[in-house]
Amino acid sequence: MQPALDFTPRPTLTEPQIRVRDLRVKYIHTLHQLVTERGLNHTTLSTYNILIKEVEKRHPDTQSANPQLGGKGHPARSTISRWYKTWVQSLKEDDALASKARDCKVRLDSYSESVLLSFLSNTFNGSKSEQKRGHYTAYCEHIERMPLERRPTHIASERTFRRRIDELKAFDHEYESANEAQRNQLLLTLTRKYRQNYALQRVEMDRITLNLCLIDDDTGKATEKVSLLVAIDCYSRLPVSVVVEIGEAENKENVVNLFQNMLLKDSQLIGQGNAVNYVVDNGPGFNNNIVREIVKRLKSSLIYTPALKPQAKPFIESFFSVMRKQFFKGWTIFDSDGKALVGIPGYYAKRTAADVGVNLQKEARLTVSQFKDQLHRYLVEYSNKTHGQTNRSPTEMWNDSMHAHHHVSLQALPDYEAMAPAFNVFVKQGSNRLDKRGSVRLHGHDFASPDLKSLFQQISLYKDKSSGKAPKVAVHYNPFDARTVSVTALIPGENSHKEVLAYNRDLELDAERISYEELAGLKPKSFGIYSDYAEPPRGKLVGDVDKLRKPKYSNKSKRSGTKAASFEENNTRSLSAEARVEQSHLSESQCASLPDAHTALTQRESQQANEGPPSDWTQSKKTKKNRKRRDNSQW
């Protein structure tokens, strides 16, 4: 039976209806082609799975709806079947797929909502001004400057924008008045709102100081307190850089090492790359010209969050909370004897009045290498364990985003060797001279290259030869990589600066990365955790160590071995206090040779009485007497 024809004129579709119709047409036309060409049933689950893959392949913009990429999901199988039935009954009229006309504006789709919240988390939280209209103008301009392939389909209205800001302010007020458990729950809620669309879109960095001391592997003595610098990818929840520092205050050198480790990886911790946005706080390690210059060279954006506002970085704060519970308090260690120990030995949580007197150095039980190994194993387990919010492991989320990154404009994924010159940002102080052999000297090492020698010849054309001095240059270096330096010089004739890369003569060209401190035989200020031999995940929070140790202490000065006289012996011999002290300083043989300490002291006192007072004492007595007479005469 043919369906009845409907000649009722259809009203003009509104813009929201057109957007809904165009979206549904992508699914229905693809489904109709599968049904007619392949003979598939449009209601089965197998046909639905094939349909989703074909739609994502033909229309890459629909991939943002994929739950694996942060979307809310494609339309359900029953929904698509209902659309297909309506389309067939309307004689394959595409306008029949349009939604009902609405008087109000439609809600933002998942991608448009994520762009709005990402803008608020990056711009509004990092700005001192809270003017809503000004931020809305910046939001609209931000959308206009986005690439077409990343631009959202909807722009939030000013009313919606203001309502989102009010929600953030209410959240901040609730967070400040909440306890620790409530704050952790609020951070989890905020991470669900700040939805990211691909890996390396937003990376949060922070530093955590631990009440933990370790044991030096070489000396066996206890170290100072341990701190961690961590960078986490907000899309996949994968730690992309971890640096351990011992006994160091927050400084820019170790933060540079954190950025360097962003470009490193091993076989198990696969997070590697340069992020689009780096979100940091206003600490001295991050808020400085060195970090800003590195981010500029990496062609990324640096976003600062206000001080004392951890909710502005919910992903890294939530990760720290999980790591305290699972690793520092819940990690199980088995030694070679089979003895189990729950929690990292020597670690104390927030200091309370009960343990304020605990000496952390005496409580140290793990060596630096053992702690590094256990931390690496935990991060491997964390990266391969299903996350509570994404229902997938961070490693799976990362791999899926890397394989499907063609629908977004991702940053390049270079390794460290390709980007090593970008970290030569520290400047050697003082006067730096370029040798005629094409070499410069830094920290006791000579750096040279053919390009540097050519630079010397170019500068020499304009140099005052009468002075007899080598030309001045600026030497830029990286404290954690002593293989190369960047030499910058001003070309007088061209009025421009030229930068040349020079290599360490004391190292091979294919040498591994090494710091200047390590070349001098010292321990580096900070170090990464990547390992050449990475053990695969076990699926449980358990680690093994050979043996737990105790720290060594400096030995006190040894005694002479002389047995001191007892109190009763000194009383029997009727020794004075002076004689007792003098006898305690003598050795055993000297004490035996003395006839009697009391007799010796008596003889010395009688001798002093016969000789009279010393001459200087008599002169001093006369001087005092004359001064007293002079003072009386003045009165």
Q: Which of 509, 504, 500 is nearest to 457 (CA)?
A: 500
CB 27 within 8 A of CB 55: yes
Report helix, strand or coil for 207. Answer: strand
The answer on pLDDT for 138 being more than 70 is yes
Q: Is the pLDDT of residue 198 over 60?
A: yes
The 3-state DSSP composition of the chain as helix, strand, coil percent (nearest 5) reads: 45, 15, 40
Burial of 429 (0-12, 13-18, 19+ CB in 10 A): exposed
Q: Is 80 exceeded by the pLDDT of residue 616?
A: no
Q: Does residue 597 have a pLDDT over 60?
A: no
**Cα angle: 123, vertex 124, 125; to 5 degrees:** 95
Q: How far apart are CA 332 and CA 328, in angstroms?
A: 9
Quick one: what percent of the chain has pLDDT higher than 90? 36
Model confidence band, residue 632 (pLDDT cutoffs 50, 70, 90): very low
Chain segment 404-428, per-residue pLDDT in tens:
764 444 455 677 888 899 999 999 8
Output the CA–CA distances (angstroms, integers) from residue 260 to 275, 346, 504, in the order listed: 12, 30, 20
The rounded distance, in Å, linking the Cα atoms of 162 and 112 is: 16
Q: What per-residue confidence (pLDDT) applies to 30?
A: 93
The residue-averaged pLDDT of 88-115 equals 78
User: What pLDDT sits at residue 394?
Assistant: 94
Q: How far apart are CA 269 and CA 379, in angstroms?
A: 8
- Least confident residue range of 168-177, 298-307, 516-525, 568-577: 568-577
Residue 28 near residue 115, CB atoms below 8 Å: no
Average pLDDT score over residue span 124-148? 84
Predicted pLDDT of residue 60: 81
In terms of Cβ atoms closer than 10 Å to its own Cβ (0-12, 13-18, 19+), residue 452 is buried
CB atoms within 10 A of CB 158: 14
Instruction: Using the predicted structure, report yes or no on whether residue 468 has a pLDDT greater than 80.
Output: no
The CATH architecture one would assign to domain 194-407 is 2-Layer Sandwich (3.30)
Q: Would the pTM count as exceeding 0.75? A: no
Per the prediction, the chain carries an average pLDDT of 82
DSSP, res 326: I
Share of the chain above pLDDT 70, in %: 80
